[in-house]
Structure 1
Amino acid sequence: MSLLASQTASKAWNYLTPPRALEGDTLAASWVTRGTHFIVCTSLVSDGARLTRDNPDEYLLIVPPQGGLSATLRAGADCVEAVTDSLSILPPGRSEIEVHGTGYVVRIFSADAADLLALAGNAAAYATPNPDVAPLAPWPDPVGGFRLRTYALEAHRKPDSNMRVFRTCKLMVNMILPRVGARDIHKLTPHVHQDFEQGSLALDGSYIHHLRYPWVPDMDQWHPDDHVEMNSPSLIVIPPKVIHTSRCIGTGTSQLVDIFAPPRVDFSQRGLVCNADDYPMPSALQPSIA
């Protein structure tokens, strides 16, 4: 028996395929791609676009540094401004995003957004669930309850790291700092995750994603190494147990966003989460104090 489709990397070359109109959106067209527990919706927008949802749980909005866009976010009686190069969290229920400028924005949902799951361009790959992916168990509710939150990413740079990690109850993203020029091929970071997927979303530039699939007892199921080049915007969803690393190529600016669901325990226990004061860890996972 061959590997399940969900046990091989799912690749969405957004820039090569036409986007589609989504219900609730005006002046926008979107590409929808899913993992087991998350959905990525990358939207081409015109000035004044309105993206509305009545969502069952929280979702994220990324306003990239490219293009100079900003957005006005509304949910209930709350209204906040999301600046260029920001990450925002929108609460459950009805919400609206009004975009100022022309370019693209990204929304990230949990798999509880069932209507978007059905629209995903790679939905067929998940017809049979991947047994290696652990279930999605929500983490505690945010401090002070669910509400609009927005984070200007420039304020979260650290001099000794290219990582900017944020989490919600069900999602985690690493808003990796933009890089100019190609990555040093002598300083790559091949690694593997045992029980969760990694979505790698290219916001800018070009990448080669290097994948090495595990050898199983049945040699007919072995996959050759995969070195896939993808421009932006694009998304690759890497299954558990697949060794992987990504490198930007070319001389220009590139930026990658890594997506996980549920939030990663290791990143959280290492104190890497920028909004940890807003979103607590489960008490059972809190690192012990000697």
Structure 2
Amino acid sequence: MYGRDDLRTTLAPARSGRVPTAFKKASYALFTGTEPQDASALSRDWYARGQTMIVAYSEAEAGAVFDRADQVDEYAVVLPDEGAELLIEIPEGGETVSGRAIAFVPGGRSRITVVKGGRLLRLFTTRSADLAAKCSNAAAYAEPDPNVAPYAAWPDPVGGRKVRVYSGNVAPQEGRFGRIYRGSTIMVNFGDGRVGPRSPDNLSPHHHDDFEQYSIALDGDYVHHLRWPWISDSTRWIDDDHERIAAPSVAVIPPPAIHTSQGMAPGLNRLLDVFCPPRRDFSLKPGWVLNADDYPMPADDQETGA
């Protein structure tokens, strides 16, 4: 069902075998034009969640500080635009992050200081209960999604505790899908987007058996098209969804809904697709995960030679 020449047609099949008996609807959150969950003189911060992950979107000025005193696990920080700069510090040392970039920050104590203002995303698992409680759509996950597999972190990175920083400007390469980075908790596909509306005759509807997709719209606006399968219990059928939402925003797409996102703006339409925990099928493709040497796959995949 993918679009023409879509490299995802080469992905390994899923291993789930789950048969759904009920479904969850998608959840959407708009990050501007609504009141932020946190606000100060230097930062406005919005929070939204799915079953496994929290998206914290901030518009911050120089001098803003984001502290985590006792973070339960690794989290990711994304600078989506050129011009912004951060200093990320942990007890073992610090790293400067600038331009389009992604950083993975180990659990424990950490501090982010904004050196040059701009937009930033912090991506946490929902094990960070204090942040999960802030989310604008927290009520939507009072009951868990029965189709999302239980969360399990991937192995720790090679080389011990440090802030790991990767450029978001790696050039495209034939045969490689997107610009994918993974940590032990989260995977990010750092895309460039496209200018102008996406052609309605070349969309890429597909589904995931047992994990969510977090489609974070950074620029433009999108229609997120979703369709759920029919099961024997017709009282649990869900109508098709064609949600139009402007950037910046997030769509939490549940399994096993068939979905595709269609950019609609005449200018740049750009998505950041995020998964928690990392995707096995993307990770099995040689060369697709740009920092694979730093973050091992789980032992069962290593033992099979993946």
TM-score, normalization: structure 2? 0.87
Aligned to 1:12: 29
Aligned to 2:296: 280
1:120-139 to 2 correspondences below 5 Å: 120-139=135-154
State whether residues 15 and 231 of structure 1, in contact with CA within 8 Å, keep that contact through their aligned partners in structure 2. no
- Distance in 2, Cα, partners of 1:188 & 1:287: 36
State whether residues 47 and 135 of structure 2, in contact with CA within 8 Å, keep that contact through their aligned partners in structure 1. yes
- Distance in 1, Cα, partners of 2:258 & 2:303: 27
Aligned to 1:266: 281
Aligned to 2:191: 176
The one-letter code sitting in structure 1 at the alignment partner of 2:123 is I
Aligned to 2:201: 186
1:19-98 to 2 correspondences below 5 Å: 19-21=36-38, 27-54=42-69, 55-65=71-81, 68-98=83-113
Structure 1 stretches of 5 or more lacking a match?
none
Aligned to 2:220: 205
Percent of aligned pairs sharing the same letter: 42
Match of 2:120 among 105, 113, 130: 105
Aligned-pair CA distance for 1:207? 0.9
- Distance in 1, Cα, partners of 2:136 & 2:161: 30
Once the two structures are superposed, residues 27-56 of structure 1 have per-residue CA deviations (whole angstroms, 9 ceiling, x without a partner) of 212111111111100012112211111211
Once the two structures are superposed, residues 56-110 of structure 1 have per-residue CA deviations (whole angstroms, 9 ceiling, x without a partner) of 11111111126x2111111114121111110011111111111133332100001
Aligned-pair CA distance for 1:195? 0.6
Count of aligned positions: 285
Matched residue of 2:130: which SS? helix
State whether residues 202 and 234 of structure 1, in contact with CA within 8 Å, keep that contact through their aligned partners in structure 2. yes
Greater shift in the superposed pair: 157-166 or 121-130? 157-166
Matched residue of 1:119: which SS? coil
State whether residues 162 and 177 of structure 1, in contact with CA within 8 Å, keep that contact through their aligned partners in structure 2. no
Once the two structures are superposed, residues 97-152 of structure 1 have per-residue CA deviations (whole angstroms, 9 ceiling, x without a partner) of 11133332100001221111111111111111111110111111100112101111
State whether residues 162 and 176 of structure 1, in contact with CA within 8 Å, keep that contact through their aligned partners in structure 2. no
State whether residues 26 and 51 of structure 1, in contact with CA within 8 Å, keep that contact through their aligned partners in structure 2. no
The one-letter code sitting in structure 1 at the alignment partner of 2:160 is G
Aligned-pair CA distance for 1:223? 2.1
Matched residue of 1:16: which SS? coil
The alpha-carbon distance between structure 1 residues 289 and 170, as it changes in their structure 2 partners (threshold 3 A), is: closer
Match of 1:155 among 170, 189, 194: 170
- Distance in 2, Cα, partners of 1:14 & 1:5: 29
Match of 2:157 among 111, 135, 142: 142
State whether residues 33 and 41 of structure 1, in contact with CA within 8 Å, keep that contact through their aligned partners in structure 2. yes
Once the two structures are superposed, residues 141-185 of structure 1 have per-residue CA deviations (whole angstroms, 9 ceiling, x without a partner) of 100112101111112532454511111112111112232222222
Matched residue of 1:262: which SS? coil
Matched residue of 1:154: which SS? coil
- Distance in 2, Cα, partners of 1:50 & 1:156: 32
The alpha-carbon distance between structure 1 residues 151 and 112, as it changes in their structure 2 partners (threshold 3 A), is: same
Aligned-pair CA distance for 1:287? 7.7
Matched residue of 1:155: which SS? coil
State whether residues 6 and 126 of structure 1, in contact with CA within 8 Å, keep that contact through their aligned partners in structure 2. no
- Distance in 2, Cα, partners of 1:258 & 1:8: 18
The alpha-carbon distance between structure 1 residues 110 and 4, as it changes in their structure 2 partners (threshold 3 A), is: farther
State whether residues 75 and 185 of structure 2, in contact with CA within 8 Å, keep that contact through their aligned partners in structure 1. no
Greater shift in the superposed pair: 213-222 or 230-239? 213-222
Once the two structures are superposed, residues 7-33 of structure 1 have per-residue CA deviations (whole angstroms, 9 ceiling, x without a partner) of 1000102223111227xx872121111
The alpha-carbon distance between structure 1 residues 21 and 229, as it changes in their structure 2 partners (threshold 3 A), is: same
The alpha-carbon distance between structure 1 residues 71 and 5, as it changes in their structure 2 partners (threshold 3 A), is: farther
